[in-house]
Every structure is written in structure tokens, then in C-alpha cells.
């Protein structure tokens, strides 16, 4: 069984926003961080998931159980 890459608390918050379809600007406003910081978190998520963009990251999150925390 493959072990999931651990996401930081902030990466999980950003991922939740990505799953909700929010833009970088909307994420930065909601989390009170700069858009550059949002982009850095996205880049880290993409690297951990071994994907090249938002849509593949969201698909991976939902199909591999990373999205579970959204429902709680």
C-alpha cells in the first residue's frame, strides 16, 4: 500500500480551496496570505502529488482520499 505524502496544515487549507475551485486571489483573501505564498503552496502540493497543475492535483486529492478533511 502506497503511503500518502503528508501535507502541511496550510497546504491542506490551500488544497481545500483548490477543490472548491477558488482562484489564487480568492485563496489569498480567504487565508490572509499573499498570492505569491498561495503559488508557493500550490507548487509544493503539485510536487508532493507529482502532478503539473491544479486539475490533476484536485483529481488526485479526491481519488486518493486527500479530500476527506473537507467533509469534516
4: in domain: no
Query: Which range marks the domain in which residue 56 is found?
Result: 9-71
Give the per-residue pLDDT at 61.
Answer: 93
Residues 19 and 58: beta-carbon distance below 8 Å = yes
Q: Which parts of the chain sit beneath pLDDT 50?
A: 1
**CA atoms of 41 and 68, how far apart (whole Å):** 19
Say which CATH number the domain at 41 has: 1.10.10.10
Q: What global pTM score does this model have?
A: 0.88
Number of domains in the chain: 1
Q: How far is CA 72 from the centre of its chain?
A: 16
**Helix or strand (DSSP H, E) at 43:** helix 35-49
Amino acid at each position: 500500500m502506497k503511503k500518502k505524502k503528508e501535507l502541511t496544515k496550510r497546504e491542506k487549507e490551500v488544497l481545500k480551496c483548490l477543490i472548491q475551485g477558488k482562484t489564487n486571489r480568492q485563496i489569498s483573501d480567504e487565508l490572509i496570505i499573499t498570492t505569491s505564498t498561495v503559488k508557493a503552496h500550490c507548487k509544493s502540493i503539485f510536487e508532493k502529488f507529482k502532478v503539473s497543475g491544479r486539475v490533476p492535483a484536485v483529481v488526485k486529492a479526491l481519488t486518493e482520499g486527500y479530500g476527506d478533511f473537507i467533509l469534516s
